[in-house]
Amino acid sequence: MKKFLSIIILLCVGIAYGQDDPNILNTKIAQLEKTIARQERIIEKLNTKIAEQEKETKRLLALCRQNRIETNPKKMARQPKNDGIAKRFEGHLEVGQIAYLGELNDLRITHIIDKQNAIVDFRIWIRLEDRYLPRSGPIDKEGHIYRDDPYTETVWVRGISTTNLVDGSYIKTDKPLKVAGTKTYDTASGGTKTVFLIEPYEPSQDSNKPNQ
């Protein structure tokens, strides 16, 4: 339909300017048909590319939902950038570590102590290096791929509100966290257990340079 309308317009223009020579009009129509065909091929390629991008976007969003990655750009922008603090916890915990919770790490409450304390399973995903193939774990927004078996350690979290949370809930925070030391508590079996103590970190708390 578009091609037919274009030809009609060209004929009208040719007649209006006195170019009613059939050979001239046929040449212009042939050129126009080639142009239209070329544009249609370009549009087809663009539509194919858009479909592929939409498919990839859906795949990445599904991974984000699966691994509880924040996909709201406004919320993600709240995290400070280039402040000298590690973007995520990597590997096993050590006293003195300072980092953000990270996209793929999470704090799952196993027992709420009070409004500011909870015993938590800290799940830390380990990033794969290039030499480890095949890669089948989750992917963060920067394209890094992680092992599909996260390292999990029980920790005590202090200083983050547990209001309206229950056992099994996930603690969310945009602030950096610090492994401040250890905490010993009584277990249900009558014994004791010592775990790492994690608290929100403020740069003004000490003058030590954060670990990278």
Nearest of 111, 113, 110, 120 to residue 177 by alpha carbon: 120
* Terminal-residue alpha carbon distance, the chain: 63
pLDDT by residue (tens digit) across 7-20?
555 556 555 555 55
Average pLDDT value for residue range 179-204: 91
* 158 three-state secondary structure: strand
Q: Which amino acid is at 200?
A: P
On whether the CB atoms of residues 175 and 159 are closer than 8 A, the answer is no
Q: Is residue 172 included in any domain, yes or no?
A: yes
Higher pLDDT residue, 33 or 194? 194
Q: Is residue 178 included in any domain, yes or no?
A: yes
> What domain count does the chain have?
2
Q: Is residue 58 included in any domain, yes or no?
A: yes
Q: Is residue 75 included in any domain, yes or no?
A: no
| Full domain range(s) for residue 49 | 2-66
CA distances from 58 to 20, 52, 63 (A): 54, 10, 9
Higher pLDDT residue, 170 or 3? 170
Nearest of 17, 24, 27, 155 to residue 92 by alpha carbon: 155
Domain boundary among 66, 90, 119: 66
Least trusted range by pLDDT, from 47-51, 111-115, 180-184: 47-51
Instruction: For 60-72, give one letter per residue: b (16+ CB within 10 A) or e.
Output: eeebbeebebeee
Average pLDDT value for residue range 38-51: 86
Average pLDDT value for residue range 84-101: 86
- Res. 84 pLDDT band, cuts 50 70 90: confident
Q: At what angle do helices 2-16 and 22-66 cross, to 10 degrees?
A: 140
- 157 and 58 in a single domain? The answer is no
Task: Find which of 56-65, 90-99, 139-148 is predicted with most confidence, using mean pLDDT.
Answer: 90-99
* pLDDT beyond 50 at 131: no
Least trusted range by pLDDT, from 37-51, 80-94, 183-197: 80-94
Q: Which amino acid is at 88?
A: R
Task: Find which of 89-103, 123-137, 146-160, 172-186 is predicted with most confidence, using mean pLDDT.
Answer: 172-186
- Res. 192 pLDDT band, cuts 50 70 90: very high
